[in-house]
């Protein structure tokens, strides 16, 4: 693939902008400067730098973001900063076949909810991970206002009725992890589902954190607001059920 097309595919601007970056000497490949936009390189395992920023070529982007509180999962936030501002420009500008450029959040977390958020520009992956038909388990650590009791846990496991759906919604797993703490596993993602389920059993969510999706656990060393690429093992873990 030509170098200008490589940069374009990764979100570094239009082909004309990418060609200009190369011609001005801002791009190195394998540690060597390259000023020819038409130079051909194999993309497998390719790494390059643009204006000093190291970048691995990725045909499709698969990311994990540790979402901080006080952010919205929207390109056009209404009141809080967008999670997309936490990503570097190229990831927000990657060309896609859809009308929206760049990587997209796989589902949404409320502005006050923290934890594991997947992002990608692969439409099939986004659908597979977010569709309730695929029953991908998502684990939430819940801090409640009132003490958690066995009756609340039982009702969450058996199913509670939410105001917009007469069919009971049940947790795939649920356990009290402290007097005011609950670990809840869901396989679907209705609007404000955790908060509404907890309210339905007479309690209230005071803090909410997503710690796991499938078999993928939010890394303990990934600080809030930081992101990283997902590797082959990470993607495989997403297909595993939660323990």
Which letter does DSSP use for residue 86 in this model?
G
Cβ-based neighbours of 97, under 8 Å, separated by 6 or more: 123
Q: Is 135 left (phi over 0), alpha (psi -120 to 50) or beta?
A: left
Catalytic residue among 5, 110, 112, 122: 110
Q: Is the dihedral of CA 71, 116, 98, 2 positive or negative?
A: positive
Nearest-angstrom CA–CA distance, 146 and 109: 23
Strand partners, 160: 169
Task: Report whether 96 contacts 119 (CB < 8 A).
Answer: no
Task: Report whether 50 contacts 111 (CB < 8 A).
Answer: no
Q: Is 122 a catalytic residue?
A: no
Task: Report whether 38 contacts 44 (CB < 8 A).
Answer: no
| Residue in the block written with tokens 């601007």 | 13
Residue 78 structure tokens: 């209404």
Which letter does DSSP use for residue 157 in this model?
H
The candidate with the shortest Cα–Cα distance to 101, out of 9, 215, 209, is 9
Nearest-angstrom CA–CA distance, 104 and 123: 9
Return the active site residues. 110
């Amino acid at each position: 693939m030509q170098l200008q097309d490589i940069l374009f595919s990764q979100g570094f601007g239009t082909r004309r902008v990418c060609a200009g970056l190369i011609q001005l000497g801002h791009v190195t490949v394998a540690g060597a400067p390259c000023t020819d936009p038409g130079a051909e390189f194999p993309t497998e395992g390719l790494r390059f730098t643009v204006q000093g920023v190291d970048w691995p070529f990725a045909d499709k982007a698969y990311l994990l973001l540790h979402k901080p509180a006080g952010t919205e999962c929207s390109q056009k936030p209404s009141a809080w900063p967008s999670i997309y501002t936490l990503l570097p420009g190229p990831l927000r500008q990657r060309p896609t076949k859809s009308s929206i450029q760049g990587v997209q959040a796989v589902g949404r977390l409320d502005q006050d909810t923290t934890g594991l958020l997947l992002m990608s520009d692969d439409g099939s992956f986004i659908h597979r991970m977010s569709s309730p038909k695929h029953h991908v388990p998502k684990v939430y650590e819940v801090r409640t206002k009132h003490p958690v009791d066995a009756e609340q846990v039982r009702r969450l496991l058996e199913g509670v009725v939410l105001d917009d759906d007469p069919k009971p919604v049940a947790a795939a797993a649920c356990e009290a992890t402290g007097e005011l703490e609950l670990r809840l596993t869901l396989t679907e993602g209705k609007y404000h589902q955790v908060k509404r389920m907890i309210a339905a059993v007479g309690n209230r969510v005071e803090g909410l954190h997503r710690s796991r999706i499938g078999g993928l656990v939010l890394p303990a060393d990934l600080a809030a607001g930081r992101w990283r690429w997902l590797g082959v093992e990470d993607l495989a873990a997403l297909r595993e059920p939660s323990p």
